[in-house]
Amino acid sequence: MSLSALSVWLFATGVGFVIYVQRRLARHRNRLPLPPGPRGFPVLGNVLDIPTEGMVSAFRDMNATYGDIVYLNILGQPTVILGTHSAAVDLLEKRSAIYSDRNVSTMTKLSGLDWLFGSTPYGSWWRRQRKLFHRHFNSKAILPYRPIQEQEVHRFVLRIMQEPEKFLEHIRFAVTATILRVTYGLQVSGRDDEYVVLAEATVAIQNAITVPGKYLVEVLPFLRFLPSWLPGAKFRREGKTWMPITRRMRDAPWDFTMKTIRDGSAVSSVATNLAQEMFTLEGREANEGEEISRNVAAAAYAGGADTTLSATETFFLAMAAFPESQKKAQAELDAIVGPHRLPCFSDKASLPYLTALLKECLRWKVIGPFGFPHCSTEDDEFRGHFIPKGTTVIANLWAYSRDIEYYPDPEAFKPERFLKDGKIDPDVLDPAAFVFGYGRRSCPGRHFADDALFMTAATVLHTLLISAPLDAEGHPVRLEGKMTPGLISYPEPFDVVITPRTDWAEALVRESCSMGNL
């Protein structure tokens, strides 16, 4: 070990020991015991109990051993793992007033993504941004954007018909194009468009920095002061490279929209509506209002595109892996929509099987296995145990999706589990109850994402056939469905075969796109 590396290690160990002693003293000042959990080591705590792979199943095993709530000490940082949906509701929803904070991510700051209000500490600044976002993305506010979603889905399907082997690229572009158009009124021409490149790069950066355990600086934040040239400080160099990209992603489309407002060429969008509200402010409020509006607009993509992208890729994977479910959904669409038009949003209430299928997609491959960790702002008592102020609280959403109390035979793909007498069964837990988070930190863009996923799935199933590739002997290849690590998880790259379902299906798509939609 070099002298510089040894110095860093000794310093880190010393700081960790001080934190450890402080936490031990704080614990003894409280009569209630901490929640149960594996016995850790001095200074290190339970670091060695956390695997680099298979973390969700490891945490589920801990909950099976110790109960609904497990306590871990991560280098002095108190951490609680919630093993059941009911425990998460009790803490993160019913006590959201003290469990809505965030531990500030060092890599989020270094990479220039600290403007994302989803990562902002709980307080007035966060509340103002969340309130503004909700006002422009609640279930009623997004209704005017449904025609855009329909048009972009039709474009998406036509591109797949033309280049089916590039379906994953087309999914990414469609998600980006839709959100940029709704948010900024931007109509992008292709994947090499500057705004598309910026948006996709920002999501890639966000995915990179949220892989659990990837960056030691997240556990030992003081390491951010290391010189970038020092061995082990690669994170500093990465942050320096990424910050100009993420800042420009926030600023460039906003500045474009403001320019169109000034020259009179603006198209109605979320950004123009935000600007109209902003223009009524004066002085300091105007300056703060612009920054908040700029952040909120950018968060619509950077904070929401990844979830829509993951869910859409999972849908394609499921349809190829489970052809019987695909056939049932297509039969329902044939009966309700018929061969003379494409699906529309008003069809949704008449498509219970498709609705159940999408719920099963969300449950089968959870978008964010852990969600985004919460943080407590006060000391608390829960089920006879003491939870210190500043505790990181992790909800194991993946474990909830596998809870046999709610979902018997959880590894099977069964849309029927959500149906009873041909209708959605309200007694079965909707995965949206946990997939989109809890309490005041639940995803404020979930309604837009739900609309996007429904329109994509309905149109794709009505017009396309998705199947697994065949092996050398003519048998369908088994699709493993492995997921990437990270706070947002995606299916690992996979291949499918996509063809137009019928001649009339292809004709409907081409006709729609020729009427000014493409």
Binding residue positions for heme: 443
Token code pair at residue 19 = 């934190």
Gap between the Cα atoms of 410 and 316, Å rounded? 20
Gap between the Cα atoms of 218 and 79, Å rounded? 14
Largest Cα–Cα distance in the chain? 74
The burial of 403, by beta-carbon neighbours within 10 Å (0-12 exposed, 13-18 middle, 19 or more buried), is given as middle
The burial of 225, by beta-carbon neighbours within 10 Å (0-12 exposed, 13-18 middle, 19 or more buried), is given as exposed
The candidate with the shortest Cα–Cα distance to 441, out of 378, 394, 480, is 394
Q: Cα–Cα–Cα angle for 102, 105, 109, nearest 5°?
A: 120
Q: Cα–Cα–Cα angle for 149, 154, 158, nearest 5°?
A: 145
Gap between the Cα atoms of 455 and 156, Å rounded? 11
497 membership: H or E segment, kind and range: strand 497-500
The number of beta carbons lying within 10 Å of the beta carbon of residue 480 is: 11
The candidate with the shortest Cα–Cα distance to 440, out of 118, 194, 161, 212, is 118
Q: Which residues are annotated as a binding site?
A: 443
Per DSSP, 437 falls in state -
81 forms beta bridges with 70, 394
